[in-house]
A and B are shown apart, each in its own frame.
Chain A
Amino acid sequence: MNDLTSAENIDYSCFPDERGHFGIYGGRFVSETLISALDELAAIYGRLKDDPKFQEEFDKDMAHYVGRPSPLYHAERWSREVGGAQIYLKREDLNHTGAHKVNNTIGQALLAKYSGKKRVIAETGAGQHGVASATVATRLGLECEVFMGEEDIRRQSLNVYRMKLLGAKVTSVTSGTKTLKDAMNEAMRDWVTNVDDTFYIIGTVAGPHPYPELVRDFQSIIGREARKQCLDQTGKLPDVLVACVGGGSNAIGLFHPFLNDETVKMVGVEAGGDGVETGRHAAPLNDGIPGVLHGGRTYLMEDENGQIIDTHSVSAGLDYPGVGPEHSWLKDLGRVDYVAVTDEEALSAFRELTLVEGIMPALESSHALAYAKKIAKDMSPDKTLVVNLSGRGDKDILTMADIDGITV
């Protein structure tokens, strides 16, 4: 299947290849009409990524608008209670708009500006990427339309209202499963129709080339900062990195700058829903097979006829049947381990971090926390484990209240 059967001797910074392939994954599986737009995007990005002026503008926004660098926080009390490794939290929850998503939307909105496009569109599941897109769009004076599944609009009403306050148009998607994957289909349809004046801001490391590469590059600021912060605070590289994986952008952002550091172990945590064995989950890397969706080849959840199937997770941001192609490749290479935790485990990690550290994590990030706790226990206290706290839990308060049977 893959001529690269071993993770040794790979320089991870050299991927994808020029056609966007990570081994057999990635690529560009779109209809012909979009090819020229993707070529144009790849050309503009290729030119700007090494342009000092573009970088300077990006760095300036990261510092003064987003509030970076985000802290690497030693969760001492929680580490003590868990009773093993020292747990550090990379505080993406403190970013403007409340999650890592904004790192990417700032980058892509700058690309839109440099491309001279007047309108941006985005898909969103939990609404975090939609909010982050609406935020940067209104700031740059760009028209913004966000596609969101009817089901997610219901689940994430707070974020829907936030987007509207930010001047975005939120379009309800009623096809298919009425969730993130269908929102992405609809955004692609809009893009194909308005390709001349519209920039599509994809929210994760999925989609056709060059999206998985450029979203990864924008999100890699997480890992670059964490690497330096860890060296500064502990004098060594971390032993283990843990991040949740929906499409995989916060995870690849943390992992990528460490991939060539052989001693650093990495774990991506998928949404196990009711449990991987029940089939009601959103864990394609644990229980899927390679296929083609949304422009790339990657692990997918599908039936025996190749139809994409319904996913389940308490966290809307992880409720997606595919995953970024680079993760599929890293899984096959064995460089990163991919595991799953259940809704229940994630909810209990949410409550625990809230009470022990006074930090309310997003339900997505709670998946990473739940798994971190499991493995930290069995590690010695001189080891360090970094968890990507990809977002804050404010958006999930209504979901929690609902679970607790409380009307707020």
Chain B
Amino acid sequence: MNRITQRMNALNEAGRKAFVAYIVSGDPRPSVTLETMNELVDKGVDIIELGIPFSDPMAEGKVIQSGHERALEHNVSLTSSIEVVKQFRERDNETPVVLMGYANPIERKGYQIFADMAADAGVDGVLTVDLPPEEAVDLNAELKRVGLENIFLLAPTTTPSRIRDIVSLASGFIYYVSLKGVTGAGHLDLGSVKSKLSEIRKMTELPLCVGFGIKDGASAKAVSEHGDGAVVGSVFVDRMGELANASDAEIVSAVGQLAANIRLGLDS
């Protein structure tokens, strides 16, 4: 069984919600990423989403765009990010890691080579923001071949018939985009999240994690009440940016502290 499913099952049995943390690989510099991942796990993160920096991150708000730009200044790439996962796996063979990024770096590498590299390194799932199911057929086949989960997005605007199609292709978990907007947006509407999640719930058994606009333990807890977990990203990336000139140790500990607080809120 894939690590994502294992983790989700275990959380479910324990009656806990999944805490999914997003950081950008190599932000603010490559030397902090591995230690940050370890620290996030130590402070209670269940799944790590490692953002692959891209020159044109169309779905990101200002905060995460800046994270991508900081990483790109250090020439962080898909290849170097996969290498970080490989190092992470030397110590941690349980925490699921999902690569989250845009299609072009993967296209450039070639689907087959990418799938082999990612599986080899111990990646568990791939979420390609600008690859809706219609365009994901070929990548999907490659990910299946090597046993990687393909994580798809559902949005407030996704129609019921589309939800049905997408959940039939998805595996691992479903990422529900909580609002119409970009990452880090500030207009989360809990009522609409709740009603959409219950609509989706009727069509799939897959775990539902909710992301975009989740800023702290309280909002993480609120959205995950109707789903199985919460994805938190901009808050971490924002802190990375503030501490861009601080030492690695300071960054790691600050990010860890944020994670510990969110975990506390989520479990309260």
Contact = CB atoms under 8 A, between A and B. Distances in A.
Interface of A: 19, 27-37, 175-176, 181-182, 185, 188-189, 192-196, 290-295, 297, 300, 302, 304-309
B155 A306 contact: no
Contacts, number: 122
Contacts of A29: 103, 130-132, 135
Contacts of A31: 58-59, 129-130, 132, 153, 155, 177
B236 interface: no
A193 B181 contact: yes
B9 interface: no
Contacts of A195: 157, 180
A189 B103 CA distance: 17
B169 to A, nearest CB: 12
B78 A176 contact: no
B155 A33 contact: yes
Given A27-B134, A305-B78, A32 B56 contact: no
15 contacts: A30-B132, A31-B130, A31-B155, A32-B153, A33-B155, A34-B157, A175-B65, A193-B181, A194-B180, A291-B104, A297-B107, A305-B77, A307-B77, A308-B55, A308-B56
A292 B107 contact: yes
For the complex of A and B, the 10 pairs showing the least CB-CB separation, nearest first, are: A306-B108, A306-B105, A33-B155, A305-B77, A36-B157, A292-B103, A32-B153, A193-B181, A307-B55, A32-B155
Given A189-B58, A189-B61, A192-B59, A36 B159 contact: yes
Interface of B: 54-62, 65, 69, 72, 75, 77-79, 102-109, 129-132, 134-135, 152-159, 162, 166, 177, 180-182, 185
A291 B107 contact: yes
A161 to B, nearest CB: 27
B107 A35 contact: no
A19 B134 CA distance: 9
A308 B130 CA distance: 15
Given A36-B159, A176-B69, A292-B103, A30 B56 contact: no
Contacts of B65: 175
Nearest to B109: A306
A295 B130 contact: yes
Please classify the interface of chain A as helix (H, G, I), strand (E, B), loop, or mixed, using the class held by over half of its residues.
Answer: mixed
A291 B105 CA distance: 9
A284 to B, nearest CB: 13
A397 to B, nearest CB: 32
Contacts of A175: 62, 65, 69
Given A31-B177, A175-B62, 7 more contacts: A28-B135, A31-B129, A33-B177, A36-B155, A36-B159, A305-B108, A306-B104
A37 B108 CA distance: 28
Given A193-B180, A302-B104, A35 B59 contact: no
B76 to A, nearest CB: 9
B58 A32 contact: no
A293 B157 contact: no
A307 B56 CA distance: 8
A32 B105 contact: no
A194 B187 CA distance: 12
A37 B157 contact: yes
A192 B134 contact: no
Given A30-B130, A175-B69, A295-B130, A188 B58 contact: yes
B107 A33 contact: no
Contacts of B69: 175-176
A193 B132 CA distance: 18
A35 B162 contact: yes
A196 B135 CA distance: 24
B182 A192 contact: yes
B132 A185 contact: no
A297 B102 CA distance: 13
Nearest to A182: B56
A156 to B, nearest CB: 21
B135 A32 contact: no
A233 to B, nearest CB: 45
Contact of A192 (B103, B104, B181): B181
Contact of B56 (A36, A37, A176): A176
B56 A181 contact: yes
B104 A35 contact: no
B104 A193 contact: no
Contacts of B154: 32
B58 A294 contact: yes
Nearest to B159: A36
B121 to A, nearest CB: 17
A305 to B, nearest CB: 4
A300 B54 CA distance: 14
B153 A307 contact: no
Name, among A37, A181, A292, A305, the residue most crowded by chain B CB atoms within 10 Å (CB to CB): A305
B78 A306 contact: yes
A290 B104 CA distance: 9
B153 A292 contact: no
B108 to A, nearest CB: 3
Contact of A193 (B60, B129, B158, B185): B185
A37 B78 CA distance: 31
A364 B77 CA distance: 34
B105 A35 contact: no
